[in-house]
Amino acid sequence: MTDSITNRDLPLGVEVRHLAALEAIALTSSFSQAAVLLGYAQSAVSQQIATLERAVGHKLVERPGGPRPVSLTSAGEVLLRHATHITARLGAAKADLDALAAGDAGALRVGTFQSASARLLPPTLSRFRDNWPRITVELRNERRSADLEELVRAGQLDLAFTDTGLFAAPLKGAELIVDPYVVMLPPNDPLAEADELDLGRLDGVRMISGSADDTCEARVFSAIERAGVRPQTIFRSDDNLTTQRLVASGMGIAIVPLLAVELFVPDAAVTVLPLAPNQRLSRSIGIVWHEDRYHSRAAEAFVETAIDVAGGIGLPHIPVITSRQRSVLV
C-alpha cells in the first residue's frame, strides 16, 4: 500500500484549489491578477499559497513587495509542472464521468489536422451525425499530429486523427489509411516527363517545403539526406493548397503525401509522380485514444465510422496531372 493515497509521505493537505492558485500566479505574476482570474479575493489566494507552502514544506513564491511582479521559486516551478498534470488528469476524469452519465448524448472532442480535415473528416462526421444526432462533436485543429496526441494524453481530447504512426502507451489507435509520398512538379517541368522520380536528380533544385518541425517534412528531409543531394528550399508553407499553387506557378517542386494533393483546382494544376521504387515513403494515418480513459459508445462508433470511411477513400492513380487532361481516380 506504499503507493496508495494513504501513504503518509504524501502532502495530504494539498487541495486542487491550492494548485489552481499556484498556476494562476505563474500565469499572471501577481496575487491580485491571480485573484481576478480565479474569482477570489486576493487574501484568499495568499492564504491558499501559504497553506500549500506549509503542506509541501517549501517556499514556492517569491514576494518582492511593492509593484514588482511575484515569481515562482525553483521549488514552485517543480510543483507547477506536477500541478499541470494533476489538473489535466482531473479534467479528464470529469470528462469521463460526464461521458458515462450522458450515454448516447453529450460531447465528443475530436482533434484533426489539415489532410485529415480535408478528406477523412467531412464524410466521417456526416455519417456519424446521421447515427448519433444527440452527440455534439467539438473539433480542434492543430498543425502537428504530435500536438494532437499530447492533447489526448492530457485528457483534453477524446480522439484524434494522427499521422505519426505511433500508438505507444497510454495511447491506442487504429490505422485508417497508408498514404504514399509523391513529387509535385509544374506540368511543363522537364522532370515531369518521367514516370517516376529519383531523389538523386534533385540536387540544387528549388523546393517548396513544409515547416522544419513538421512530421511530414522530417520524413522528406531524411529521404533527401539519404540520397546525398541538397535541394534549395525557397519557401516553407503549412498549407497544402498554397504549396500546390506555388508549384503550379513554377516556383519549385514539392514532395508531399498523396492525400495532400488537390484535384481539379484550376489554378493549381501540377504533375504528380511517384518516387523511385527504392526511395518510396509513406505515412500511416490513424485515429488514437487514451487506453486508460473511459471510451464511450459514441467514441467507439466514431472510430468505427472513420475506419469504414477510410476504406472507401479513393487515392488518385499516379503519375497524374491534376487538371482535366490526365486525371484519374481509383
Q: What percent of the chain has pLDDT over 70?
A: 89
Residues 46 and 125 in one domain: no
Express each pLDDT in 190-248 by its tens digit.
988 888 999 999 999 999 998 888 888 889 999 999 999 999 999 999 899 999 999 99
Q: What is the pLDDT of residue 15?
A: 85
243 & 291 share domain: no
Q: Quick check: 140 pLDDT over 90?
A: yes
Verify that 84 and 34 share a domain, yes or no: yes
What pLDDT is recorded for position 262?
85
In a domain, 7, yes or no: no
What was the pLDDT predicted at 330?
33
Mean pLDDT of 131-138: 92
Extract the C-alpha cell encoding 229. 543531394
Whether residue 64 is found in the same domain as residue 203: no
Do 303 and 279 fall into the same domain?
no
pLDDT of 119 reads 86
Domain count along the chain: 3
Whichever domain contains 258, its CATH number is: 3.40.190.10
Do residues 194 and 273 both lie within one domain? yes
Lowest mean pLDDT among 130-134, 146-150, 243-247, 259-263: 259-263
Are 276 and 205 in a shared domain? Answer: yes
Q: Mean pLDDT throughout 119-124?
A: 93
pTM, two decimals, is 0.68
| 259-314 pLDDT per residue, tens | 888 887 888 889 999 999 999 999 999 999 999 888 888 999 999 999 999 998 87
Give a yes or no: residue 317 inside a domain.
no
Could you give the CA distance from residue 209 to residue 87 in angstroms, rounded to a whole number?
Answer: 38
3-state secondary structure the chain: CCCCCCCCCCCCCCCHHHHHHHHHHHHHCCHHHHHHHHCCCHHHHHHHHHHHHHHHCCCCEECCCCCCCCEECHHHHHHHHHHHHHHHHHHHHHHHHHHHHHCCCEEEEEEECHHHHHHCHHHHHHHHHHHCCCEEEEEEECCCHHHHHHHHHCCCCCEEEECCCCCCCCEEEEEEEEEEEEEEECCCCHHHHCCCECHHHHCCCEEEECCCCCHHHHHHHHHHHHHCCCCEEEEECCCHHHHHHHHHCCCCEEEEEHHHCCCCCHHHCCEEEEECHHHCCEEEEEEEEECCCCCCHHHHHHHHHHHHHHHCCCCECCCEECCCCCCCEC
Are the beta carbons of 243 and 208 closer than 8 angstroms? Answer: yes
pLDDT at 124: 96
Domain boundary among 245, 267, 283: 283
Tell me, yes or no, whether 57 and 138 share the same domain: no
Q: Is residue 248 part of a domain?
A: yes
Could you tell me the pLDDT band of residue 326, with boundaries at 50, 70 and 90?
A: very low
267 and 293 in a common domain: no
Do residues 259 and 187 both lie within one domain? yes
Whether the per-residue pLDDT at 316 is higher than 80: the answer is no
Among 31-45, 98-112, 135-149, whose mean pLDDT is lowest? 98-112
Q: 19-73, pLDDT tens digit by residue?
A: 889 999 999 999 999 999 989 899 999 999 999 999 888 999 998 877 788 999 9
Question: Between 174 and 8, where is the model more confident?
Answer: 174
* pLDDT average, residue stretch 164-172: 86
Q: Is the peptide bond before 274 cis (omega within 30 degrees of 0)?
A: no
Q: What domain range includes position 298?
A: 103-177+284-311
* pLDDT of res. 64: 86
Q: What is the pLDDT of residue 323?
A: 46
Question: Distance (Å, rounded) from C-alpha 330 to C-alpha 313?
Answer: 9
Residue 328 reports pLDDT greater than 60: no
| Residue 130, domain member (yes or no) | yes
Q: Is the pLDDT of residue 181 over 80?
A: yes
pLDDT of residue 87: 80
User: Is the per-residue pLDDT at 74 higher than 60?
Assistant: yes
Mean confidence (pLDDT) of the chain: 86
